[in-house]
Amino acid sequence: MIRMEGIQKSFGSNHVLRGLDLNIAKGTSMVIIGGSGTGKSIALKCVLGLVVQDSGRIFVDGKDAADTTDRDAFLARFGMLFQGAALFDSLPVWQNVAFRLLRGSLKRPREEAREVAIEKLRRVGLKPDVADRFPAELSGGMQKRVGLARAIAAEPEIIFFDEPTTGLDPIMSGVINELIREIVVEMGATAMTITHDMTSVRAIADNIAMLHEGIIQWTGPVAEMDQSGNPYLEQFINGRAEGPIESVR
Amino acid sequence: MNPLAVLGRTVLSALAAIGRIALYGVETISHLFRPPFYSREFLSQLLNIGWLSLPVVGLTAVFTGGALALQIYAGGSRFNAEAVVPQIVAVGMVRELGPVLVGLMIAARVTSSIAAEIATMKVTEQIDALVTLSTHPMKYLTVPRVLAAVLVVPLLVGIGDIIGIFGGYAVSTGTLGFNAATYINNTVDFLEPLDVISSLTKGAVFGFCAALMGCYHGMNSGRGAMGVGRATKGAVEGAAILILAVNFVLTGVFFTL
């Protein structure tokens, strides 16, 4: 469903992506792992057009994303959970969740949009009384849940999760991982997650891809991860300081 | 380090920044006339920029008008021209001090707030979130703020002019011994329609400059708290300088051409 071919992206002399190739099949959950600053988020943002790659092509359902004329319709197929949730401070929770349903091509009557928002909040384990609170009044875990509710509010075909458990305690991380897995399965969505949390990887992934030095070093089913024989992946999943990935002490 | 090279880099960098701001301004104007329009955002900005700025504008104007009357009286008395206080206060407030001080107050209050808010949205990925939710950040954030400022700052300038003249009137009739009816007659007789038109036009242009600089610097903020701080500082400095420079040009256009 998503195919990335030879993606390159540099920021000045920093060559972040050096020819990334990746395939994500429809209805599967791909998790991209790799150290901090290896370009995982940049790869994801290239698909959405938030960052424009220097070279390479991205295909969604066989169509080149660069040839998209109706950007609104293209983006309506995606939902995204940002690392810090990226909720709009000035809007109450329900308007954050129903943001896409209150404007643009998916616009619905205000009352209906609110009902959908409350239903999605319930789906991620939040009570309706949260709907009228503002993001700043919520804990980090609750903000992530609201971000998740916003990502699924318009029933997207493709959902991106950028570091979904960063900054959360282990129990809340487990809750978010379970929610993501459940939601992706029940919606039949294609998911792409970026993380360096191995607990998340095992809970969420069908397939994983190891990104290092701007290219995918290994990709395959999560079940084969522990017997991959790939030195980069083995060092990463075992958290070893020694190996091909340089670590700064 | 070659001083000429440093000077050249600084000048080129300043010219590039002016070019980027000009392009951002043109893009903003082009979006003013193309849907979608976000009316709730626009109304919210009208309230924020207009209504909530009234106290600071009113207080600035009343004290300035009062001080202006005292200065003109003291200066005029050196050559027996104390009687011109009403006329000079009216012209001074309406042509120059009203629009410029309101513009600078808007730069301090509104530009800083817009820049800090949008810059924070940028560093917390809220701008990226807007894009993924099929919402153009310029249409959702910049256009409502700029349009609201263009419409509401002239009103604030008009109110500032009136309050400033009232400040001069209060001081003149209260402590300088002017007759109230004569003061008002002299003020009304001396002001011309062009004075008021220039004042309100300046207000609209200053509103545009103030909101545009806030949005531009916010959208182009660097990372982290330091990025937000720099964006806010740059926006207020840029807006203040732009307002004073544009004021000079507009004064020339209105009163010397």
Pick from B126, B128, B132: which is nearest to A78 by CB? B132
Of residues A238 and B136, which shows the higher confidence score?
A: B136
- Report the pLDDT value the prediction gives residue A237, as an integer from 0 to 100: 87
What mean pLDDT comes out for the span A20-42? 92
Tell me the pLDDT band of A35, cut-offs 50, 70 and 90.
confident
pLDDT at A240: 84
Do residues A81 and A163 make contact, with C-beta atoms less than 8 angstroms apart?
A: no
Residue A130 and residue A92: Cα distance in Å, rounded? 9
Under 8 Å CB pairs connecting chains A and B tally to 51
What is the identity of the amino acid at B8?
A: G
Chain B closest-CA separation from residue A206 CA (Å) = 25
Q: What is the pLDDT of residue B162?
A: 97
To the nearest whole number, what is the mean pLDDT of chain A? Answer: 91
CB-based contact B132 A75, cutoff 8 Å: yes
pLDDT for the residue A242? 81
Q: State whether residue B35 sits within 8 Å of chain A by CB.
A: no
Q: What is the pLDDT of residue B257?
A: 73
Q: Which residue of B has its CA nearest to A90?
A: B117
Count how many Cα atoms sit within 13 Å of the Cα of residue B208 in the half-sphere of its side chain: 15
CB within 8 Å: A100 and B124: no
pLDDT digit string, tens, across residues A160-188: 999 998 888 888 888 889 888 988 898 89
Cis peptide before A244 (omega within 30 of 0): no
Does A67 score more than 90 pLDDT?
Answer: no
pLDDT tens per residue, range B163-175: 999 999 999 999 9
Stretch A63-85: mean pLDDT: 90
User: Which candidate in B43, B134, B139 is best for mutational testing of the A interface (most A CBs within 10 A)?
Assistant: B134
Q: Taking CB atoms and an 8 Å limit, are A75 and B128 in contact across chains?
A: no
Q: What pTM was computed for the model?
A: 0.89
Q: With bands split at pLDDT 50, 70 and 90, how would you rate the model's confidence at A249?
A: low
Please identify every stretch of chain B with a pLDDT value under 70, giving residue numbers as ranges: none
The alpha carbon of residue A164 is apart from the nearest alpha carbon of chain B, in Å, by 14
Q: With contact defined as beta carbons under 8 Å apart, do B183 and B69 qualify? A: no
Contact residues, chain B, for A80 at CB < 8 Å: 129, 132
Residue A52 gets the label, from left (phi > 0), alpha (psi -120 to 50) or beta, of beta
Average of pLDDT values for A3-28?
Answer: 93
How high is the ipTM of this complex?
0.89
pLDDT at B177: 92
Contact flag B126-A105 (C-beta cutoff 8 Å): no
